[in-house]
Amino acid sequence: MMEFNGLDLLVEKPIDEAALCRAIAATLGVPEGRVTVIDDISNYPASEDADVVCVVSSVEGEFSLLVSIQVNKLALPYENTVALTQCLAEQLSAACLIPDEDDVDPYNMWLVLPGSEPRRVGVDPVALDQDRYVISRR
| Burial degree of 29 (CB within 10 A; 0-12, 13-18, 19+) | exposed
Residue 85: predicted pLDDT: 98
Domain positions in the chain are 2-133
Residue 35: predicted pLDDT: 97
How many other β-carbons are positioned within 10 Å of the β-carbon of residue 106? 11
Residue 131: predicted pLDDT: 87
Tens of each residue's pLDDT in the chain, 138 residues:
999 999 999 999 999 999 999 999 999 999 999 999 999 999 999 989 999 999 999 999 999 999 999 999 999 999 999 999 999 999 999 999 999 999 999 899 999 999 999 999 999 999 999 989 999 975
Residue 123: predicted pLDDT: 95
Residue 127: predicted pLDDT: 93
